[in-house]
Homo-oligomer: A and B are copies of this chain.
Amino acid sequence: MTASLPFASRLSKVETSAIRELFKLLGKPGIISFAGGFPDAAMFDVDGIREAANAALEQEPGAALQYGATEGYGPLREQIASMMAGKGVRGVQANDLIVTTGSQQALDLIGKTMISPGDKVIVEGPTFLATIQCFRLYGAELISAPVDGEGVQPDALEDLIREHQPKLVYLIPTFGNPTGATLTLERRKRVLALAAKYQTLFVEDDPYGDLYFDAPPPPSMLALSSEVDGSRDWLVHCGSLSKVLSPGLRVGWLVGPKSLMANAVMCKQFSDAHTSTFAQATAAQYLHSGRMPDTLAKVRKVYAERARTMCDALERELGTALSFVRPGGGLFVWGRLTGQGGKVADGNEFAKRAIEQGVAFVPGTPFFAADADKATLRLSFATADLQRIEEGVQKLARAL
């Protein structure tokens, strides 16, 4: 090529090297992986999904294979609304939500709809990697709010809102990625009150809420918004079937204020016209079949065992060299190297040594939009079985 292509200026906002490094870690064969952020394929209800796909093609081949409404396939919107009602969400009907191509697209539509170049956006420090990059592509300047084992700290968050007047605040309040932390009921209500008080849009990203181990988490911020005056007008909620049923269907959804939904539909129309109607009709048939409760029960049980096994092994093998909070659900353990006993205290360095020992995880640095805590790391317990988890943690101990 004689000249290079004149790419859009927005691309300069995105730092992809951290992500490329991460992918390199995942590629090595034979390795025990605690790196992935995905569910275990062995737990997919393949028979149930096959039956659902066949039912969709039998009962409504036209709808399943033709262009569909940008807002989503009616019967699926009904199923999702009813699922949310079952979890305490009041006043959200099928027409109040739109189906997105995974919840990643819900984030993209929020960015496209809301963020002008230079707008400030508050995220948790640390937060979901792809949210950071997605919002930066729309020109957002990200600000990190401090979190602890109970999620984001409301006082600090309020100070940041006052100081920065952000366009929006993005939270993963339940079994967060990467921290695994869950915002307490009391903090949820305080955060909703902040949304109403400062008339600032809050995004609740909730892909993991159904993956609890023992007790259910507090109700979602969307459910609680009925109790906090004026908060519903400033709340957007993103959900997904990816972690509980199948990521490959790419079915997520978005609920929010009416004016935002109208603009998000317009943006989605020119992003991908609509989410695969074949995948949507299959998901609708699956939810209609009544198999979801059993699927969820199975997934919860398996992940709970794996989480317990990993946490027990980490305490036993790594001792005080790694501090972490036991998660109550989700896919992740978030740890912090203490450096005690002269052990390695840098997550990147530890990741390199771990790869040499045959075990992979993601160092914490790329999850921070700013001021990265280099001692942190994320371990997923979702995809390795109990024996591999034990082995992997022993390898971690050797790497340390």
Interface residues of A (CB under 8 A from B): 1-11, 14, 16, 19, 38-39, 41, 44, 46, 49-50, 53-54, 57, 61-68, 100-102, 104-105, 107-108, 112-117, 119, 130, 133-134, 137-138, 167, 199, 201, 230, 233, 242, 246-250, 257, 259-260, 263, 266-267, 269-279, 281-282
Contact = CB atoms under 8 A, between A and B. Distances in A.
A9 B114 CA distance: 8
Contact of A104 (B54, B115, B270): B270
A259 B230 CA distance: 47
Contacts of A62: 41, 44
Nearest to A252: B272
A137 B248 contact: no
A65 B38 contact: no
Given A41-B65, A54-B54, A67-B248, A7 B271 contact: no
B230 A249 contact: no
How many monomers of this chain does the complex have?
2
Given A7-B113, A8-B119, 15 more contacts: A5-B259, A6-B167, A8-B114, A9-B116, A14-B266, A41-B62, A44-B65, A46-B57, A54-B54, A65-B249, A66-B247, A101-B250, A102-B272, A104-B271, A134-B270
A250 B279 CA distance: 10
24 contacts: A4-B259, A5-B260, A8-B112, A8-B119, A9-B116, A11-B267, A41-B65, A46-B61, A46-B65, A50-B53, A50-B54, A50-B57, A65-B246, A66-B247, A67-B242, A68-B248, A100-B272, A102-B272, A133-B270, A134-B270, A137-B267, A248-B276, A249-B278, A276-B278
Contacts of A10: 112, 116
A265 to B, nearest CB: 10
A36 to B, nearest CB: 8
Given A112-B10, A269-B130, A248 B2 contact: no
Contacts of A2: 199, 230, 233
